Amino acid sequence: MIVAEQKPLEAIRQMIAPYHRVLILGCGTCMTVCDAGGEREVSFLHSSLRLIQAKSGEEPHIFSEYILKRQCDPEFIDLLVDKVSDVDAILSLGCGIGVQAIAERFTDMPVLPGVNTSFMGMAKEWGVWDERCAACGDCRLEDTAGICPITRCTKGILNGPCAGAKNGKCEASKDMECAWILIYKRLERLQQLEKMRRYYPPRNFRAVPRPRRLVKKVSVGAGESDG
């Protein structure tokens, strides 16, 4: 799941300052789950924005709220068409993908990011999320006992641990587990310690062309039959 954090109120205020009528647009999927842009956060932000403009006495914006089930799919975005006719800007509480998807659909509409998309991760417990995947496109978790060194090692090294590991913790932070120690321990449990002996050549980051596109559908030419 994508995890994000709402931007500071001041940043949001500055962003929306030039626009009179602003639609606060929530997202009903990842942003709801990570408490950054679901219906509750949309109305809390709405309330906060109204409060701050009441306090500052500046010319009031006109806010509206709407929640899309998912901002990253064109069919859902279609539902927005009649909601945006009378707004000057959309403040999207979707992740970076949502913001771009909305911007792509409404070519003349400024779309502002209300959250900082942080990482792909999982819930540790109520209100705590941890990063787990960097979407490198070259998954090697089978060799590292299901623990990703790219995300969980501060250095992202493929052949660890480095010399900074101390008592199983990372030198960068005493609270952070060393990913490679975790990998070692888990390989030991799985009786696959021989995997530690392998050398992983450095990854060629330049080989990953961005932006990536995934095509699942098969191209079927006109007039062609299954034969």
Partner 1 sequence: MYPSTAKDANRYQPNEVTKLSFDHSLVPPCQAACPLHMEIREYIDLVAQGRIMEALQVIRDGNPFPSICAYVCTHPCEDACRRSQVDKSVAIRALKRFAVEFGGDRRVRAEAETTHSDRVAIVGSGPAGMACAYYLRKLGYPVTVFEAHSGVGGMLRVGIPQYRLPREVLNTEVQRLMQMGVEIRTNTRVVSLDLLSDMGYKAIFITIGAHQSLRMGIEGEDGPGVIDGATFLREVNLGLKPSLGKKVAVVGGGNVAVDAARTALRLGAHKVSILYRRSRTEMPADPVEIEQALEEGIDIRFLVAPVKLNRRNGQLSISCIKMELGEPDATGRRQPMPIKGSEFNRQVDVLITAIGQAPQTPSDFRLRIGRGSTIHVDPVTLTTNRVGVFAGGDAVTGPATVTEALASGRLAAFRIDDYLQHRYPRVDKEMRAHLAGDLLPETIEMIRKIGRLEPPILPPESRMEDFKAVESVYDWSTAVNEARRCLRCGMGAEIVSQDKCATCLNCIRVCPYHVPRLDVNGAVQIPVEQCLACGICVAECPAKAIILRKPYDQRQVTDELRHILNSAEKSKFRPFIVGFCCQYGLFGTGTLANLWREAKAGIWIVPVLCVAKVEAEHMLYPFEMGAEGVFIAGCGEQCARENTALWISQRIGKVRKMLVQIGLEPERIRGFMLSSTNKDIAQDLDKFVEQITRLYLTSTIVEEVKS
- Comparing CB distances to partner 1, the nearer of 46 and 185 is 46
d(CA 90, CA 182): 44
d(CA 213, CA 211): 7
> Are 145 and 192 within 8 A, CB to CB?
yes
x/- contact string, 79-98, with partner 1 (CB under 8 A)?
----x--xx-----------
Q: How many residues does the chain have?
A: 227
Q: What torsion do the CA atoms of 34, 40, 46, 51 make, to the nearest 10 degrees?
A: -100
The answer to whether residue 8 forms part of the interface with partner 1 (CB under 8 A) is: yes
Minimal distance in Å, beta carbon 47 to partner 1?
Answer: 5
Interacting stretch for partner 1, rule CB under 8 A, among 91-99, 119-127, 143-151, 218-226?
119-127
Question: What are the φ/ψ torsions at residue 122 (nearest 5 degrees)?
Answer: -135, 160
The answer to whether residue 76 forms part of the interface with partner 1 (CB under 8 A) is: no
- Helix (H) or strand (E) run with residue 119 in it: strand 115-125
The answer to whether residue 118 forms part of the interface with partner 1 (CB under 8 A) is: no
Residues 6+ apart with CB under 8 A from 106: 80, 84, 90
The answer to whether residue 38 forms part of the interface with partner 1 (CB under 8 A) is: yes
The answer to whether residue 65 forms part of the interface with partner 1 (CB under 8 A) is: yes
Minimal distance in Å, beta carbon 33 to partner 1?
Answer: 4
Which residues in this chain contact partner 1 in the complex, by CB under 8 A? 8-10, 21, 28-29, 32-33, 35, 38-41, 43-44, 47-48, 50-56, 60-67, 69, 83, 86-87, 123, 125-126
